[in-house]
Every structure is written in C-alpha cells, then in structure tokens.
Structure 1
C-alpha cells in the first residue's frame, strides 16, 4: 500500500474499512456504522470490528434539513484501529464542509474510490495490513467496493471496474430537443426547489419528485419538468441543494417552443464539480447534470 496518502472528501461521505488481513480490531473513539437497505437508515455505534472488510461508516451523524439522519463528519478526529499486535491511526481533519483523511502508520493507507468518471469521487477506504506482509492483499484491495445506485437499484461497485476519463471540456450548457430527457449524477443526496421536477419510472408511471439519491452516489435518468414528459415554455429556474446546504447549484431551462428546443444552462454552483455530460453507464443517461461535493 502507498503510505502517507492524503485524500480530500466531502464531510457527508462515509468511508469503508480495508481490513485486508481480516484482523479483529477495536476502534476508538466510537464511529457509526450504517445499516439497512432503504431509508431511514440505522446508525449503530462501533467500537469493535470483526474479521471483515467494507462497511458504510461515518465519524458522526447529523439530522439534515429534511429531517433525515445521515453520516456527517462534524469535527476533526483521530481514528485508531487496534489489534493485539499493532495500531493503525488515521487523521481526519475537517475544514468547512470538507475533510482530509491521512495516515502515516506503517501498513496503513487511504484510498479514493471513483465511479464512472475519474473525477467523480464515490467513496473513501481506510486500508490496513500487518507489517511484514507481502503484496498478496493487493488483489483484495483492488476489488474493494462501495455502494452506488442506478435508477433506484442498489449495487456494489468494484474499484477494479473500468473508470472513464472525465470529459476534457466541462459543458455548462447543452441544447436538447423538447422531447428529450435529462439525468442526474451525484455523490450526495440533492434536493430540488423553485420548479416542479418529474421522473418516469421503469413501469411507465410519471411521478413528481423533490430529490435525487438516497444516501449513495447515484445515477438516474428519465427526468422532465412537466408530467407529460416535457418542459414549460420560456424560462424555468431550478435550484439544487444537498441536504445540508453544503453546496447549491442554479440551473436554467429555456424552452423555445417555436424551435422545439430546450437550452439547459448551469448558471452558478458552489460544489466542487458541476457540469452537464453524457453519463450513460448500464443505463442510457444523457444530458446528466453532474454534481459532486
């Protein structure tokens, strides 16, 4: 493993544990493990880890602006994992709505996980293996996973899968036909305001939605601004915020009915990443508004 690695992540992003020697570890101070397949998730205090790897773990939890409890690093913290033979220490230093994970412990490393694109951060792994071990666990490390969602279906994404280069030109505006859909790709939950948003389900039912995501990096398509799979004539403004208002994006939809065209423009954003790209992966997800903290 590479040592002294430093990774910057949003305070909302959980981490997994790469316990590659499958040691029995005590954890101090207490951290919080997420359980359950659907919201509302349960968060259980963890002071002990069995001989396993993975997990969805947060330093603390917070109630977001929508009354939902989610993992969130509320302060800086040193996290220690101890076995009978060694201690692995990780420093989690919080600044604003970001947190930096770093370690200098022998046999320990932090690793960023990316999904679909090499600029789309989807997870963090805190890895450990005993001193003096060979590289036999690198295969395990390469196959580490994090939870992601595609059109509401939860899957485990392996870091060993192919990740494509990010678009060289970050598009802030696209022009589409007024019968075309748009999509969302985000690494945190995002919530819509200032306009109505509709989504067509695989069953063909069209429902009004006020959010995208449910606690995992999420890709979903079949979004529109009217229940007949269209767009209001003229200008429509959509405001997008994550659940803790760590970032805001303002997107404008300009529907020229005479040309049967809609111009989608990102007017402003405060997230680390916000652009419009084709994010098709397993599903067809064109005109994806990509937001990443």
Structure 2
C-alpha cells in the first residue's frame, strides 16, 4: 500500500487514522487548522482531523516557530501493532517511506502546488478536498486536496496587465515582504475596502490562495511609476524571490517579471504569483 514521497523539509504532514496511536518520537501539531500555535503530542486521537504536523520546529528569522525537519528519524505509530514511517533528510528535502502494508503515503496538492504529505494509517480515507474562506478574500486548503498532481504547466516568468489590476498569491508557506529600489512603494492588501500596508502573509491551513494586493495605498493609483522590486522570503532565507513591477504610466500597464528565485515553485499565472516550497 505504501510508497515514498519526497517534499520540502519545511512542508508539514498530516496523520490520518481511525485508531488511536501512540507516537514515538513526540510530534508537533497545530492546535487548529487556522491557529499558528503548536503543541507537542505523544498520541494521536483516532478519527481526528489531520492538522499540520511535523517532527521538529525551528524559530525563523522573524521569531516565529515553523516546521523545519533538520534530521532523519523513524516515526513509530503504535496501535494494536507498531508501524514505522522512515523520514530521511537530504539537504532541503525529506523522503517519507514505509514498508508497512497499513500505511499509505501520499502527496496532497492544491492550486497546482504541493500542500502537504499525508500519512494514512490502515487505509483511512481522505474526506475530499476541504477549503475554508478566510479573511480578506483568502481561501485556505484545510484538508485532503488532490493526490499526485504535477506542477502547473501554464505558469510564466512575466505578465503584462492594466495598471488598475491587483495582484494575488498562491503559496504553501509563510511569506515575508520587503521592497527594493523604490522608496515610495510598499506592499498593501485590500482589507475591509481599504489598502492596508502588510509585511507578511502568515499561512493558515496547508496552502492558501487569493487576496488583493497593490504597491501603494491609493486605490486610484495602485503602483508607483517606474520599476519596483518586491522581495519574498520564506522566513529562513532559503526560498526567496525577486518580483519586478514595471509601471508604464503612459500606456497604463504594469509588467510583472520574476527576475530571480530559489523556491521550488515561483511563477506567474497572469496576475497571480505562485510561490511554494
């Protein structure tokens, strides 16, 4: 039943089981799908919803605890019997595998990015894709997702759009923002009909999509003239991106270009920026 899956060491997994399991070593799991607080658990309640879970946390450069597997480990899941999931660390990736016939390991995708790895014990079924409408037009993937998808085939490195159009994001990680090359620019998000300056986008659920963003607080002039570079950081300065906005005020267009990145996925889907581990 089982097969192996390789993912970023910063991507969480979800444990799905109808049977209550003792865990060794203890795991870190989110207190809820939307609460960024983590708790340490030594057992898994059977039939509970799979929330973002990891073997290790690390405090990132912005003083926030985030999933970060730094070493290989053997995860023992004990119910009526003990079953083992091997988690092998290699550079910035981990590979999950098991020889147990009771464990199914799967990729779970949302919006054409990998969202998490599911460890399904004793053929526990996914309940179908689950999404939650969050604040300010952002949608969160909270469970299931699509299994074994490939990356988007339609993303590009640049896109030109009218200068009255907002941009948006799809991601599976926290994102921290800064601006380079234009002191008049700052990233803003539409919140309650106002453009509010933001410095980050903290992930809820396993992945998120949506929101309306601009580079100014003026709804009648969303982008400063000339070139502005938006810098995106995953919090550990390991997955980063430089996104250039070139606002041509004469023809009223903005050209968005990806000039550099170290992320697994960084592409433009029209005015949507996909940035993923």
Range into which the TM-score falls when normalised by the shorter chain:
0.7 to 0.9
Q: Distance in 1 between matches of 2:88 and 2:211?
A: 35
**Residues 1:289 and 2:273 aligned together:** yes
Query: What residue in structure 2 maps to residue 226 of structure 1?
Result: 216
Moved >6 Å (runs of 4+): 146-149
Asked whether the 8 Å contact 1:184–1:212 carries over to 2, the reply is no
Give the Å deviation of 1:257: 0.5
Distance 1:146 1:28, change over 3 A: farther
Q: Secondary structure at the match of 1:265?
A: strand
How many residue pairs get matched? Answer: 266
Q: 2:179 aligns with which of 194, 197, 210?
A: 194
Q: Distance in 2 between matches of 1:68 and 1:155?
A: 21
Distance 1:275 1:142, change over 3 A: same
Give the Å deviation of 1:248: 0.9
**Residues 1:242 and 2:234 aligned together:** yes
Query: What residue in structure 1 maps to residue 119 of structure 2?
Result: 126
Q: 1:209 aligns with which of 192, 198, 202?
A: 198
Asked whether the 8 Å contact 2:240–2:261 carries over to 1, the reply is yes
Q: Distance in 2 between matches of 1:167 and 1:207?
A: 30
Q: Distance in 1 between matches of 2:131 and 2:66?
A: 15
> For residues 79-124 of structure 1, what are the alpha-carbon distances to aligned partners after superposition, in whole Å with 9 as ceiling and x for unaligned?
010123x21111111122221111111221211111122xx10111
Structure 2 unaligned segments of length 5 or more: list them. 181-185
Asked whether the 8 Å contact 1:31–1:57 carries over to 2, the reply is yes
Query: What residue in structure 1 maps to residue 183 of structure 2?
Result: none
Query: What residue in structure 1 maps to residue 267 of structure 2?
Result: 275
Q: Secondary structure at the match of 2:223?
A: coil
Query: What residue in structure 1 maps to residue 25 of structure 2?
Result: 29
Question: What TM-score, normalized by structure 2, do the two folds share?
Answer: 0.87
**Residues 1:81 and 2:56 aligned together:** no
Query: What residue in structure 1 maps to residue 95 of structure 2?
Result: 100
Distance 1:71 1:160, change over 3 A: closer
Give the Å deviation of 1:158: 3.6
Question: What TM-score, normalized by structure 1, do the two folds share?
Answer: 0.83
Structure 1 unaligned segments of length 5 or more: list them. 130-136, 279-286
Asked whether the 8 Å contact 1:185–1:290 carries over to 2, the reply is yes
